[in-house]
Amino acid sequence: MDPELTDAARGMGMTGRQVLFKVEMPIAVPLILLGLRISAIQVVATATIAAYIGLGGLGRYIFDGLASDQYDVVAGGAAVIVLLALAVQGIFVPAQMAHRPGGSAPPGPELLIASFRLELKG
């Protein structure tokens, strides 16, 4: 966070609490939501590993399919995991866009697809 922003807020006579809630938090909320979104998607992606040690979950279809050479089961399990990750993405992206500076982006599936493409490109 830019120290000049907090300095300007204090120069306007804001108390420490006002600086926190009116200056620092509005700037931090998009980054907090980004961290929550990335963490939630990471949990979905790594939850498949639980099946490897016998704890079940969606990864079971992948590991069972690989063990029995049923690649349609592997593809089905992978597709379900991808859809779940996209659903988690779809929950967080509108909330994150609504809290970005400059207002919210138009809702719709194109927002989800555009954000997913940005994730892949880095």
Residue 20 has pLDDT above 60, yes or no: yes
Q: The whole model's pTM is what? A: 0.65
The angle formed by the CA atoms of residues 72, 57 and 82, to the nearest 5 degrees, is 55
Q: Are 57 and 44 in contact (CB under 8 A)?
A: no
Q: Is a pLDDT exceeding 70 seen at residue 117?
A: no
Distance CA 5, CA 23 (A): 7
Span 93-101, mean pLDDT? Answer: 76
